[in-house]
Amino acid sequence: MELQTLIYLVVGATFLLYFILAIVARAGTTSEFYVAGKGINPVANGMATAADWMSAASFISMAGLIAFNGYSASAYLMGWTGGYVLLAMLLAPYLRKFGKFTVPEFIGDRFYSNTARVIAVIALLVISLTYVIGQMKGVGVAFSRFLETSVEVGLFAGMGIVFVYAVLGGMKGITYTQIAQYVIMIFAYTVPAIFISLQLTGHFLPQTGTGAELANGSNQYLLQKLDMVLVDLGFAQYTGTPDLMNTFLLTLALMIGTAGLPHVLVRFFTVPRVRDARKSAGWTLLFIAILYTTAPAVGAMAMWNTLKTVQDTDQIGSPEGNLLYAERPEWMKSWETTGLLSWEDKNGDGRIQYYNDKNEEFAAMAEEEYGWEGSELTVDRDIMVLANPEIANLPNWVIALIAAGGIAAALSTAAGLLLAISSAISHDLLKGVIKPDISEKGELMAGRIAMTVAIIIAGYLGLNPPGFAAQVVALAFGLAASSLFPALMMGIFSKRMNKQGAIAGMLAGLTITLVYIFWYKGWFFIPGTNMLPDNADNWMFGINPTSFGAIGAAINFIVAIIVAKMTTPPPHEIQELVEDVRVPRAS
């Protein structure tokens, strides 16, 4: 069957499945809309949480980061998985025992303050909107390639799909949809990886294939050969040592950011019992580990296949070793139509020069010896996973499968984030602060209206993202780490933490992190300054904006503790509540 027809059939079948599940499991009450009636089995919830978690950043963008950055991208693997250990041990069971619908509701009640609740809502909206930009970028990338349209049209198509099943189904519908999406995603990610691993190294498991010898009889290991080729093209070694300080800070920010993400935390309110929350976290960690242990292999093999396509890896540096543009393969032509892959013939030789022209020494040598005037190929990192099966000439059904998986990854997390935004506005802000006497029917309608508006805003921001998917998502994690995580931790484990301390800490952490990110990402400019955006030479103490969330979290903790010590302790009933939340029911 023709590839495009097969893609339409496979992707269309998954959409039909999502719609059916949303209709069957349609939310009829606010409890079902916000927390699926607190009746989800922990294994099913673990699968749904994994799908909620394995966003466009994990499925589409993370392997692209690994492909282009090598070992320096390991922080994403360690941080995003390590965060679930924190969730399972320090937050999930206690939040479930508290018995509320949302994170701002917990903060508002624990710190006996509507001001604290409103600040938590603001933090949640900032985090979720930043995060959803990355998902919408992923939606646009996946739809544009496989539906053969522009990124903009692809993004609008994705918005329409999310609108139908998220607004209609609420958390109950989203949960069952995400279970289906997890199954689709994990097959779509691992099956092509197995094929490519067998093709390149003869190893069935991609995890072992990464460190194996190439099957071409060269007696060279995949990573060894990849290092040699990249260095010969002026890039850093694939297995080179990363910036240790920023790697540590980014890992820490991603870990505590994971434990503070509102759309993930709310999933632990959906299980029947407290112990089920801990079980859910364990199952989630197992389910995401399948993808996360495969991602390094996908990244390395995608980079190797791309280099082999545009370069004769035995003639690096020789003009004859570069691919003639007129002879480029079909996969390159397909991705060129999306605008996510492009070529510019800078020296007029009709061949594709791909090398690191940011390496001034190498660029000068290339121009003098070969007449190259700059790298001519531009590849968006977010296409690497989706293009990998095509680059490797895998069967059409495998390419169709990865199309469905990529779209499912972006849609699943987008739905969870939009629900978090909706509940923050309708439940925490409208019912909790502005109109406490609103009816359940009115609150449900307000939630659906809020989600509709959030989809429109997210789509607009997704058209002009400030970076590739995983980078934007990393910024959202930094914001979660610096604002909500410290408040949750101190709310559970410190009887002395009062509302003044929590409010001051959240404001300090969120504000300084936002200012640092906006300043060094160049998203605002103050006249009279000469600060250059997103330039390592100008970062304060060399701290990458994506790593700053860990510093923001530390500032949050310090400010909160100091202010709490200078003000009156919480009321006695609040201290008893904290003690009760920490003590197992059996005691």
Rounded CA gap, 553 and 129, in Å? 20
Q: Which helix (H) or strand (E) holds 313?
A: none
Cα–Cα distance, 511 to 483 (Å, whole number): 9
- Among 228-237, 512-521, 523-532, the minimum mean pLDDT is found in 523-532
Q: Which residues of 107-143 are buried (b: 16+ CB within 10 A; e: fewer)?
A: bbbbbbbeebbbbbbbbbbbbbbbbbbbbbbbbbbbb
pLDDT at residue 531, as a whole number:
43
- Domain of 334, in residue numbers: 312-379
pLDDT value at position 200? 92
pLDDT above 50 (res 474): yes
208, 61: one domain: yes
Same domain, 334 and 236: no
Q: Are residues 283 and 356 in the same domain?
A: no
Q: Is residue 542 a part of any domain in this protein?
A: no
Confidence (pLDDT) at 533 = 47
What is the rounded distance in angstroms from the CA atom of residue 517 to the CA atom of residue 515? 6
Q: Say yes or no: 211 and 275 in one domain.
A: yes
Evaluate whether 197 touches 205 at the Cβ level (below 8 Å): yes
pLDDT of residue 219: 86
Write the DSSP symbol of residue 60.
I
What would the mean pLDDT of 553-564 be, rounded to a whole number? 96
Q: In this model, does residue 524 exceed pLDDT 50?
A: no
Residues 6+ apart with CB under 8 A from 515: none
Q: What type of residue sits at position 445?
A: M
Domain presence at residue 147? yes
Q: Same domain for 105 and 39?
A: yes
Task: Tell me the pLDDT of the chain averaged across its residues.
Answer: 81
Contact 385, 298 (CB under 8 A): yes
Query: Is 560 part of a structural domain of the chain?
Result: no
Q: How many Å apart are CA 62 and CA 565, to the nearest integer? A: 42
The three-state secondary structure class of 466 is coil
Q: What is the pTM of this model?
A: 0.79
With respect to residue 584, please indicate whether it lies within any of the assigned structural domains: no
Please tell me the distance from the alpha carbon of residue 216 to that of residue 222, in angstroms, as a whole number: 10
DSSP label at residue 546: G
CATH of the domain at 50: 1.10.4160.10
Summarised one tens digit per residue, pLDDT across range 104-163 is 888 988 999 999 999 998 888 888 887 777 677 777 777 776 667 777 787 787 778 777
> What's the pLDDT band for 397 if we cut at 50, 70, 90?
confident
If one compares 533 and 564, the residue with the highest pLDDT of the two is 564
pLDDT class of 566 with cuts at 50, 70, 90: very high
Cα-based distances in Å from 148 to 105, 184, 397, 414, 488: 44, 21, 17, 22, 45
- Predicted confidence (pLDDT) at residue 530 exceeds the cutoff of 50: no
The proportion of the chain whose per-residue pLDDT surpasses 70, expressed as a percent, equals 89
Given a contact cutoff of 8 angstroms between Cβ atoms, the answer to whether 390 and 399 are in contact is yes
Which of 409, 436, 470 terminates a domain? The answer is 470
Is there a domain that residue 233 lies in? yes
Concatenate the DSSP letters of all residues of 248-268 into one string.
Answer: HHHHHHHHHHHTT-HHHHGGG
For residue 278, the model assigns a pLDDT of: 79
How sure is the predictor about 561, in pLDDT bands with cuts at 50, 70 and 90? very high
Whether residues 371 and 405 share a domain: the answer is: no
The continuous run of DSSP H or E covering 341 comes out as strand 341-343
Evaluate whether residue 219 is within a structural domain.
yes
| Averaged pLDDT, 433-445 | 82
Q: What is the pLDDT of residue 586?
A: 43
CA–CA gap between residue 512 and residue 195 (Å, rounded): 46
Q: How many CB atoms lie within 10 A of CB 333?
A: 10
DSSP state of 479: H
Domains held by the chain: number: 2
Tens of pLDDT along 159-178? 787 777 667 666 677 778 88
- 203-230 average pLDDT score: 89
What digits encode the pLDDT tens for the residues 26-44? 666 666 666 666 778 888 8
Across the range 494-514, mean pLDDT stands at 93
Pick from 496, 532, 421, 450: nearest CA to 132: 421
Using the predicted structure, report yes or no on whether residue 501 has a pLDDT greater than 90.
yes
Tens digit of pLDDT for each residue in 245-271? 888 888 888 888 887 877 777 777 778
Q: Which two tokens stand for residue 93?
A: 């069971």
Residues 317 and 454 grouped into a single domain:
no
Across the range 287-295, mean pLDDT stands at: 89
Boundary-marking domain end, from 420, 453, 470: 470
Looking at the fold, whether 453 and 363 belong to one and the same domain comes out as: no
pLDDT digits (tens, 9 = 90+) for 296-334: 999 999 999 888 888 887 777 677 788 899 999 988 988
* Joined tokens for residue 82: 């390590």
Q: How far is CA 261 from CA 314, 328, 400, 491, 509, in A?
A: 47, 43, 32, 16, 15
The greatest distance separating any two alpha carbons of the chain, rounded to the nearest whole angstrom, comes to 79
- Pair 368, 430 in one domain: no
Q: Which two tokens stand for residue 450?
A: 């809020």
pLDDT given for residue 369 in this prediction:
78
Give domain status of residue 508, yes or no: no
Asked if 51 and 174 sit in the same domain, the reply is yes
Cα separation, 54 vs 186, in Å, equals 10
Residue ending a domain, among 425, 454, 470, is 470
Pairwise CA distance, residues 412 & 468, whole Å = 18
Q: 356 with 399, same domain?
A: no
Q: What is the pLDDT of residue 367?
A: 80
Cα–Cα dist 565/52, whole Å: 38
Indicate if 196 and 248 belong to the same structural domain. yes
Residue 499 lies in a domain: no
In order of 86, 290, 517, the CA distances from 79 in angstroms are 11, 16, 19
Residue 549, classified by CB atoms within 10 Å of its CB into exposed (0-12), middle (13-18) or buried (19+), is: buried
Ranges 214-228, 449-463, 556-570: which has the least confidence: 449-463
